Amino acid sequence: MNYDLIVIGGGPAGYVGAIRAAQLGKKVACVENDRAGGTCLNWGCIPTKALLKNAELYHTLTHRADEFGLKISGLEYDWSKVIGRSRGVSDKLNKGIEFLFKKNKVDYLKGTGSIPAAGKVEVTAADGKKETHEAANILITTGAKTRPMPGFPFNGTTVIGSKEAMTLAKQPKSIIVIGAGAIGIEFAYFFNAYGTKVTVVEMMPDILPVEDTEVSKTVEKSLTKAGIRILTNTKVTGTSEDGKGVKITVEGAANETLEAEVALVAIGVAPVLPGGMELKLSDRGWLQTDARYQTNVKGIYGAGDIIGPPWLAHVASYEAVQAVEGMFTKHTPKKVDVFPGCTYCHPQVASIGLTERAAKEKGLKYKVGKFPYQASGKALAAGEPEGFVKIIYGEPHGEIIGAHMVGSECTEMVAEIGLAMNLEATWDEIEATIHAHPTLSEMVKEATEVAKGHPIHV
């Protein structure tokens, strides 16, 4: 069949791009070899949040019930149901994506897509049957997969990636998490909440290395208090597994051999490229695209994780829409500049824009407004006094340079900062906006008053 656009990959970039093109009146097909929704919906963002909500609830009932005046005895959990609930959430959303394809008249082609030549997509079904389709435009959104450690391959049982971590049939008694980015820290929190002995190994000076240093230190302190052993400035120098467990030799802040039932490798991701034509790649193997998201071959585009960092679902969706609108309208595509990043451990982490250390490195003049959760009436009422809201404003105009939050539901609050930055609002507009009381979001206004030098509540 002939299409205006064929999208290869049905994740947050692929299905969004396909639907947007269909809304523009184009004939569109989306090729996916696993499940509609991609890694995020099926094996990442969504199911992990279901697991983390379970963990937070269980931890609250087992460790903080008395604080809320609750008396609970004999509380137990069913591991299979914990995992099953997570899978159920993904299943519902997966069917929802398929419904959206039908609603928007997007042809859903199940199979593995490759590009034998410009304007052609070959789809190989699970049974080996092949079909070739033609398209004026091809959008590659094949994403990325967990990067293995050299010499320590995944086996699905004792050495696992994030996908296997959320479907383990049996809870491990001990686990070593290699890598303390968002994925590593979220799983460290999850397993610890259920009593698994957790050790985190990170070669950088801080966990969550891309976050503001104050945020990283706060989360590390909280997780350490919860019983997680965290080894920063520590490098893995040796690995082995015997089918029953793993041994990890480390050097740095600690020089020892760690042992556990399972090792979760969370050191980053690698690109998943479609077969067929050779396209220009970056030094690290990511698909190279220009300002219009087009590759070095006319008519072939890329968006989402496959074109490199940041590897975030919301960024991927944005890029796909930009690419599609650039193909079929007079719209000039935009590259991603400012975007939020979130980590859903407890306390949560949310950030946007420059960290304070980055602002210093750039030699910018700025003021910092910081407001603690423990001074928030809503946070105290909810029993969530841990964390802070930190906003960095440029001088002398008061533009927002960055914002960094750690605490309950801060992943919801960061959207206000993103909107303000997109509208080029300054501290004057933030301060002049009446925020409802009592809410967590009013801490944005409170932090702004701190930055301006006239705080009311701290």
Q: Render pLDDT for 34-49 as a digit per residue (tens, 0 to 9).
A: 999 999 999 999 999 9
Q: What are 91-108's pLDDT values in tens digits?
A: 999 999 999 999 999 999
pLDDT at 343: 98
Beta-strand pair 269-271/256-260: unpaired
Q: What are 377-389's pLDDT values in tens digits?
A: 999 999 999 999 9
Read off the pLDDT band of 451 (50, 70, 90): very high
Residue 206, annotated ligand binder? Answer: no
pLDDT at 106: 98
Query: 286: which DSSP letter?
Result: P
Cβ atoms of residues 219 and 208 within 8 Å: yes
Q: Is residue 253 predicted with pLDDT exceeding 90? A: no
Q: What are 335-368's pLDDT values in tens digits?
A: 999 999 999 999 999 999 999 999 999 999 999 9
Structural domain spans, the chain: 2-146+270-328, 159-265, 347-452
Count of other CB atoms within 10 angstroms of residue 280: 10
Distance CA 209, CA 220 (A): 11
Q: What DSSP element (H or E) covers 3?
A: strand 2-8
Cβ atoms of residues 189 and 165 within 8 Å: no
pLDDT at 189: 98
Count of other CB atoms within 10 angstroms of residue 276: 16
Q: Mean pLDDT throughout 63-84?
A: 96
At the fourth CATH level, which superfamily is domain 2-146+270-328? Answer: FAD/NAD(P)-binding domain (3.50.50.60)
Read off the pLDDT band of 268 (50, 70, 90): very high
Residue 179, annotated ligand binder? Answer: yes
Q: Is residue 1 predicted with pLDDT exceeding 80? A: no
Q: Is residue 51 predicted with pLDDT exceeding 90? A: yes
State yes or no: cis peptide before 340, omega within 30 of 0: no
pLDDT at 458: 94
Per CATH, 2-146+270-328 and 159-265 having the same topology is answered yes
Count of other CB atoms within 10 angstroms of residue 291: 11
Query: Phi and psi at residue 325, in whole multiples of 5°?
Result: -65, -30
Q: At what angle do helices 79-103 and 45-63 cross, to 10 degrees?
A: 150
- Reference 374, options 359, 394, 388, 391; nearest CA is 388
Residue 186, annotated ligand binder? Answer: yes
pLDDT at 254: 82
Task: Locate all alpha helices (DSSP H) within 205-261, ordered by sequence.
Answer: 213-225
Residue 362, annotated ligand binder? Answer: no
Token pair 């490195």: residue? 361
At the fourth CATH level, which superfamily is domain 159-265? Answer: FAD/NAD(P)-binding domain (3.50.50.60)
CA dihedral for 92, 97, 103, 105, sign (positive or negative)? negative
Q: Does domain 347-452 have CATH number 1.10.10.10?
A: no
Q: Which two tokens stand for residue 284?
A: 């690290």
Residue % of the chain over a pLDDT of 90: 99
Token pair 């034998």: residue? 116
Cβ atoms of residues 36 and 15 within 8 Å: yes
Cβ atoms of residues 375 and 312 within 8 Å: no
Q: Which two tokens stand for residue 33?
A: 């070899």
Distance CA 319, CA 314 (A): 9
This prediction has a pTM of: 0.96
Residue 418, annotated ligand binder? Answer: no
The 3-class secondary structure across 350-414, one letter per residue, is EEEECCHHHHHHCCCCEEEEEEEHHHCHHHHHCCCCCEEEEEEEECCCCEEEEEEEEECCHHHHH
Active site residue ranges: 437
Q: Is residue 20 predicted with pLDDT exceeding 80? A: yes
Residue 207, annotated ligand binder? Answer: no
Half-sphere exposure in the Cβ direction for 453 (13 Å, CA): 3
Residue 300, annotated ligand binder? Answer: no
pLDDT at 130: 97
pLDDT at 307: 98
